[in-house]
Structure 1
């Protein structure tokens, strides 16, 4: 409860800043830095409750450091390979990186999953799930 009490003034200040930023009038398709900031403030206000999940749920980290670290290899690979040359290629890479990252976190074998996915596609079976297996 102490953390909630200490965070409350910060939460109120942030909400006031976001509301001020969101209050500016911008055109529907306007692409100025101001318009982008206004839209960001509006989106953050819609998600404001989620920003403070770590305060109310023990074990939830207040940062996205783990996500940033998991994306780092993908960013480096993209820079070294100059990215993809098509939308389909970009989607394929994004999906494959999602699969491999998720499986690594779950300590599941990547090759086995990809083999099962290819087999399921070829024989019109249900694809394997990326969700962690249920613990018994």
Structure 2
């Protein structure tokens, strides 16, 4: 019901007050159930209740701010090609290599999010640094 209500808040702002009230009641019930089930004999149930309580702020945040994504799928998809690279190359094998890969992942990911060609951005940085110029920053996204 919480997920349905979050989608409802995104799609039907006129129902926002009713949906928020219902979400508040659902969260109160969920929290009470989690607290109650922390002491049940069934281990999996106990662990799940504990995980919900440990992550309570994240659960409440997405309910209170419906524009936040419900899953981390987008983040996981953005990291997928870096994980594949690590598997193909068997890792970087050094601390410095790990740092280089992390920096490249950050620059390439940021450039793509800003709809820039990451390779052009990296080439520009290298060209400027070869001239002993400061590292140019990636342009900020244009807000419409």
TM-score (norm 1): 0.64
What residue in structure 2 maps to residue 49 of structure 1?
57
Return closer, same or farther for 1:135/1:124 CA change in 2, 3 Å cut-off: same
Structure 1 stretches lacking a partner, 5+ long: 21-40
Partners of 1:116 and 1:128 within 8 A in 2: no
Counterpart pick for 1:101 among 99, 109, 114: 109
- Aligned partner of 2:91 in structure 1 is 83
Question: In the alignment, which of 92, 116, 129 is matched to residue 138 of structure 2?
Answer: 129
1:75-111 CA distance string (max 9 Å, x none): 1111111011100001101111122122223321112
Unaligned stretches of 5+ residues in structure 2: 1-19, 40-50
RMSD, aligned α-carbons? 3.0
Residue 30 (structure 2) pairs with residue 10 (structure 1):
yes
Q: TM-score, normalised by structure 2?
A: 0.61
Is contact 1:4-1:56 (8 Å) kept? Answer: no
Q: Flag the structure with higher helix content.
A: 2
Q: Runs of at least 4 residues of structure 1 off by over 6 A?
A: none
- Aligned residue-pair number: 111
- Structure 1 position 119, deviation (Å): 3.1
